[in-house]
Structure 1
Amino acid sequence: MAPGSKTKKGVEEGVPVDTLTDDILTDIISRVPYKSTCCCKCVSTRWRDLFSHPDHRKKLPQPLAGFFYQSYNRDRFPKTARYFTNASGEGEPLVDPSLSFLPKYSSIDILDCCNGLLLCRCWKPTDPKTLDYVVCNPATEKWVVVPATDWSSKVDVVRLGFEPAISSHFHVFEFIDEEVWGIDEYDQSDLDGRIAAVATYSSKARVWTHQIQTVEENHFAIPTHSKGVFFNCVMHLAAFDDMVVTFDIEGNLLYIIGTPRSWPYYNDYHVNDVFVSQGQLHCTSSSGSKSDRSSLSVWVLEDYSLGKWTLKHTVSHLQLFGTDYSAGLHYNVISFHPEHNMIFIVCGQENTLMSYELDCRKRHFLRQLGWDCQLEYLGIEKKTPFIPYVPLFTESSADGP
């Protein structure tokens, strides 16, 4: 019998699920696979509203769709190409990596992704080169332009902060080093790349503000590839010398937190990237020799004020990669799953994407991304930014006024 139809006695018969409260219904939906939740949004207006309500978003699945990344090949034109690979390692890309819905620019660099929004640096075909920042939502193909600052064309580290469960507005962070800030060479500190100022942009206020970082109090440098983690309205970034620096949405430094050190310290350019999973900050470290890091450890931050990390998991490289991969292996941990005890790694000469489930200690080799997706600069191997993407189907300030 169709919903809302009448029985023989003339009594209107409702749908049993309509008697459930929103909290109970949300809890039920949160337990089904993500693909099924997409269909749930089409059931009724009430079900659609459940997905957009801030109180329920936290409970619903947040699937990791895949990763944006770039490759470089000098024998190819263009030499640099952008890709998207699904987290499953299978099928056609779920997202068009060209972002063809954006306005036409000379070139586009994806700098960061936060809870479904991408931060892009879009270069204009002008001389000298000028740019826009663009914050976009690939799921809705909507975007807004963020005006550049006087330093934007020279800043290496720019990150995005966005928490849809708290606000529909986003924040952009520019971390400006001493040279870019304009400090005379003779007045610069002895720390190469020290951050001199933090510029922040609010999509609500639509203005940039700046916070000066004094040498006496704040002595840190942030690698170009350091991942940005934004949660609880705080930006977290891994910095050199085994630390995490945290900032509020106005660019004020909150905490400097030490991280567990990889041993021995085999690479001057190495940092312990930070990730958020299940509402907690995580990092990884490796131990062993330079040619054979014998194990990988996973840590979780238990106490901000004390900088206390707790060891969550350790796995040997032999168990993690197998005999074919473990000897002299090069690898990078590129992401944690946002809701599960799972990490994603790129390893080996062919840059194989793999996942590892901590609870059951199972590894899955997903696909080979190709030898040309790891970058080198002046003989120093640097990480390719693999940018994890989680779709966002609700509205944000990136959808325009």
Structure 2
Amino acid sequence: MAPGSKKKKKGVKGSPVDKLTDDILADIISRVPYKSSRCCKCVSTRWRDLFSHPDHHKKMPQSIAGFFYEDYNEDRFPEKARYFIDVTGKGYRLIDPSLSFLPKCERLDIMDCCNGLLLCRCWKDTYPETVDYVVCNPATMKWVVVPATEWSSKVDVTRLGFDSAVSAHFHVFEFIREEVWGIDESELSNYGGRIEAVATYSSKAGVWTHKMVKKYDDFAIAAHSKGVFLNGIMHLAAYDDMVVTFDVKGKLLRFIGTPSPPYSYEFPVNDVFLSQGQLHFTCSTNSESDDIISQESSESDSSNLLVWVLEDYSSEKWTLKHTVSHLQLFRNIHSGYPDYNVISFHPERNMIFIVCGRKNTLMSYEMDSSKRHIVRQLGQDGHEYYCDTKKNPFIPYVPLFTESLVDGPRKPI
């Protein structure tokens, strides 16, 4: 043994971190991002065991667990049912998809999920039909009611903004089309589905406010557009090749142009996602538009899925991150031009999740290795995600095990 080795070993053993109890150390690790927490497992055997111990596991940052989705079959009762599929495809009962811990209502729709909280719209059995929102945490079964606005029952796009690292409070965004706002048909703009106003709710203030969209800021948001809440700003993909951004008070901040071909109303592949702290965008091309990727793809005679990343937010410059041909993605699954939808990105890996084909095959695709994995075939009875324009059909879910939802008492529905 070299001179000084014993002294060095003794110093490491007596380090301040070694003196921390497991409970304190687990609490410290629970406060770091998911990607960094994965590295903590490699520090020592003790740190690795903290992650696997049942008393500490739920405190640690979580990655994507699975997806909520709805399935429709007119030959059964009820005709519509909600399911949860975990990303392993093994069918573990991680979450009760019925959300039975919530108060009863006539119908419940999941509108959005953000960092572990679900935004649900609850329909009451009244005439005319009325609604309330409920924001809940399925992992802890805590929930709080958000009162509806006069437009809530008619709004197609409602999104949730929440970041537990910043605050226990959340924000709800309603994007109100001019028809829903109440503008007379003779005065409607020529821009179909134009957003006229944005209503926002702050759980801290407990009230709704709204901002009118300026007349020269014409944009429309597809009902399937995912909401990305990043650095306190809500981002959504909008028609005419752009991302629209709003602050928590509903103020339109700016338009970010996207490198996509025109939207397809029939096959909404284009969307914006969050992964590894950056905005990502997906779009598809066919053989007639290969000039977009002439130097980026070795399969220029096929249609492709393109993945872009906004590496420099301030300059709004997108960089082509990955290109994969439809032939490679969907071999042995679907022939011809596939019906498919990119439903999510992995939050900490270069991986995307896709649903494709008539059998609604859920699959993951790893960009670094160009490998795909068939998670599960969800079946033909299901979730016609291109037809249902009222809500997002596949809701990615990342568990949040913190006890606090928001301050204040729960209100009855």
Corresponding residue for residue 395 of structure 1? 403
Corresponding residue for residue 347 of structure 1? 356
Secondary structure of the corresponding residue to residue 355 of structure 1: strand
2:385 & 2:18 partners in 1: Cα distance? 57
In the TM superposition, residue 123 of structure 1 has moved relative to its aligned partner by 0.8
2:176 & 2:389 partners in 1: Cα distance? 24
Corresponding residue for residue 116 of structure 1? 116
Corresponding residue for residue 237 of structure 1? 236
Letter in 1 for 2:331: G
Secondary structure of the corresponding residue to residue 372 of structure 1: coil
8 Å CA contact 2:268, 2:341 repeated in 1: no
Corresponding residue for residue 250 of structure 2? 251
Corresponding residue for residue 55 of structure 1? none
8 Å CA contact 1:331, 1:346 repeated in 2: yes
8 Å CA contact 2:106, 2:123 repeated in 1: yes
In the TM superposition, residue 19 of structure 1 has moved relative to its aligned partner by 5.4
Corresponding residue for residue 125 of structure 2? 125
- Which of 340, 348, 361 aligns to 2:370? It is 361
1:366 & 1:269 partners in 2: Cα distance? 22
Letter in 2 for 1:285: C
Corresponding residue for residue 142 of structure 1? 142
1:190 & 1:127 partners in 2: Cα distance? 33
8 Å CA contact 2:269, 2:341 repeated in 1: no
* Cα distance change of structure 1 residues 396 and 383 upon mapping to structure 2, 3 Å threshold: closer
Secondary structure of the corresponding residue to residue 381 of structure 2: helix
Unaligned segments of structure 1, at least 5 residues = 1-12, 52-59
8 Å CA contact 1:135, 1:398 repeated in 2: no
Q: Does 1:312 align with 2:321?
A: yes
Matches within 5 A, 1:17-166: 17-18=18-19, 26=29, 29-31=37-39, 32=41, 39-40=52-53, 42=55, 51=59, 61-166=61-166
8 Å CA contact 2:177, 2:197 repeated in 1: yes
1:190 & 1:95 partners in 2: Cα distance? 44
Letter in 2 for 1:346: V
Letter in 1 for 2:156: D
Q: Does 1:280 align with 2:293?
A: no
> Please, what is the CA RMSD of the aligned residues?
3.1
In the TM superposition, residue 187 of structure 1 has moved relative to its aligned partner by 1.4
8 Å CA contact 1:62, 1:339 repeated in 2: no
Q: Percent identity?
A: 62
In the TM superposition, residue 260 of structure 1 has moved relative to its aligned partner by 1.7
8 Å CA contact 1:374, 1:382 repeated in 2: no
In the TM superposition, residue 41 of structure 1 has moved relative to its aligned partner by 7.4
Corresponding residue for residue 382 of structure 2? 373
Q: Does 1:199 align with 2:229?
A: no
Q: TM-score, normalised by structure 2?
A: 0.82
Q: Render the CA deviation track for 1:160-186: whole Å, top value 9, x for unaligned.
A: 000001111000000011011111111
Letter in 1 for 2:172: V
Q: TM-score, normalised by structure 1?
A: 0.84
2:27 & 2:162 partners in 1: Cα distance? 27
Give the number of equivalent residue pairs: 372
Secondary structure of the corresponding residue to residue 397 of structure 1: coil
2:233 & 2:323 partners in 1: Cα distance? 28
* Cα distance change of structure 1 residues 311 and 348 upon mapping to structure 2, 3 Å threshold: same
User: Which stretch shows the higher mean deviation, 326-335 or 105-114?
Assistant: 326-335
Secondary structure of the corresponding residue to residue 303 of structure 2: strand
* Cα distance change of structure 1 residues 108 and 71 upon mapping to structure 2, 3 Å threshold: same
Q: Render the CA deviation track for 1:207-244: whole Å, top value 9, x for unaligned.
A: 0001001221x100111111111110000111111111
Q: Does 1:334 align with 2:343?
A: yes
8 Å CA contact 1:174, 1:199 repeated in 2: yes
Secondary structure of the corresponding residue to residue 55 of structure 2: coil
Letter in 2 for 1:145: V
User: Which stretch shows the higher mean deviation, 108-117 or 14-23?
Assistant: 14-23
Q: Render the CA deviation track for 1:300-334: whole Å, top value 9, x for unaligned.
A: 01233433110001111222222443533211110
* Cα distance change of structure 1 residues 36 and 119 upon mapping to structure 2, 3 Å threshold: farther
* Cα distance change of structure 1 residues 275 and 396 upon mapping to structure 2, 3 Å threshold: farther
Corresponding residue for residue 174 of structure 2? 174
Letter in 2 for 1:299: W
Secondary structure of the corresponding residue to residue 42 of structure 1: helix
Letter in 2 for 1:276: L
* Cα distance change of structure 1 residues 315 and 35 upon mapping to structure 2, 3 Å threshold: farther
User: Which stretch shows the higher mean deviation, 178-187 or 74-83?
Assistant: 74-83
Letter in 2 for 1:250: K
1:252 & 1:381 partners in 2: Cα distance? 25
8 Å CA contact 1:332, 1:345 repeated in 2: yes
Letter in 1 for 2:162: F
In the TM superposition, residue 30 of structure 1 has moved relative to its aligned partner by 3.1
* Cα distance change of structure 1 residues 372 and 400 upon mapping to structure 2, 3 Å threshold: farther
8 Å CA contact 1:137, 1:398 repeated in 2: no
Q: Render the CA deviation track for 1:9-67: whole Å, top value 9, x for unaligned.
A: xxxx9997325996997388533399976545736xxx99xx5xxxxxxxx64310000
Corresponding residue for residue 224 of structure 2? 225
* Cα distance change of structure 1 residues 380 and 100 upon mapping to structure 2, 3 Å threshold: closer
Secondary structure of the corresponding residue to residue 17 of structure 1: helix
